[in-house]
């Protein structure tokens, strides 16, 4: 038999890898914010043009650590006014691009100083598409 059309048919939806990309952002080692100031926002953006209907897989590396973390939220351990603290980072999609965002918040009532933050974060992204196929 010579098939005119060849179809690989699976009865199950699966996931396709639509695009890969990386982007980096460097955080300052020290930053002082006035009372009730807007958060200082640091972003790395990957504009890979993918439109994932399913989502993405990603991990984040830091040049200060020999390992990576996976997931869409992560914390950066640092100090606020000399005390151990955490800053949250997020990964999301915005207007077609993928964003790694770190917001360094202010204190509502007094100036605050963040230290020990200095590092370069790199987002390693794999956009996936299907099973919704948009």
Partner 1 sequence: MALSNLLLDSDYPIDKIVWLHEGTVSLSQGVNTFTIPHGVGAQIYPKGIWTVDDWATTQMFGVMRHGRGGLLDFTSQLSADSLNTEINLRYEIGSATAKIRLWGVCNDTQIPNLEVSNTAPLSNNNLVINTDNNYPKLYLEGFATPGTTVNHGLGAIPQVDIWAFDSYSNQWYLFADDSFGTMFGLGEFVKLTASTIEFTNNSGASPNYYYRIYA
Helix H or strand E encompassing 130: none
- Single residue of 21, 25, 52, 100 touching partner 1 by CB under 8 A: 52
Q: For partner 1, which is the closer residue by CB, 17 or 113?
A: 17
Of 125, 107, 122, 2, the C-alpha closest to 55 is: 125
Taken as a whole, the chain contains a residue count of: 134
Task: Locate 115 and state its tokens.
Answer: 């230290």
Q: How far apart are CA 22 and CA 1, in angstroms?
A: 47
Residues between 57 and 116 that touch partner 1 (CB under 8 A)? 57-59, 61-62, 64-78, 86, 88, 90-95, 103, 105-108
Q: Of 74, 22, 24, 26, nearest to 47 (Cα)?
A: 22
Beta carbons within 10 angstroms of residue 126's beta carbon? 16
Output the smallest distance, CB 132 to partner 1, in A: 6
**Interface residues for partner 1 in 7-26 (CB under 8 A)?**
8, 10, 12-18
For residue 25, the minimal CB distance to partner 1 (Å) is: 14
Using CB under 8 A, list all residues that contact partner 1.
1-3, 6, 8, 10, 12-18, 36, 38-39, 52-59, 61-62, 64-78, 86, 88, 90-95, 103, 105-108, 119, 124, 126, 128-132
């Amino acid at each position: 038999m010579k098939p005119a059309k060849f179809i690989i048919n699976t009865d199950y939806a699966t996931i396709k890898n639509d695009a890969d990309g990386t982007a980096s952002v460097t955080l300052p080692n020290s930053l002082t914010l006035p009372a009730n100031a807007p958060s200082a926002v640091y972003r790395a953006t990957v504009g890979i043009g993918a439109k994932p209907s399913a989502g993405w897989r990603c991990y984040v590396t830091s040049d200060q650590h020999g390992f990576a973390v996976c997931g869409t939220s992560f914390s950066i351990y640092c100090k606020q006014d000399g005390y151990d603290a955490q800053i949250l980072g997020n990964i999301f999609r915005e207007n077609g691009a993928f964003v790694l965002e770190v917001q360094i918040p202010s204190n509502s009532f007094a100036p605050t100083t963040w230290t020990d933050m200095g590092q370069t974060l790199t987002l390693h992204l794999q956009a996936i598409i299907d099973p919704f196929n948009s």
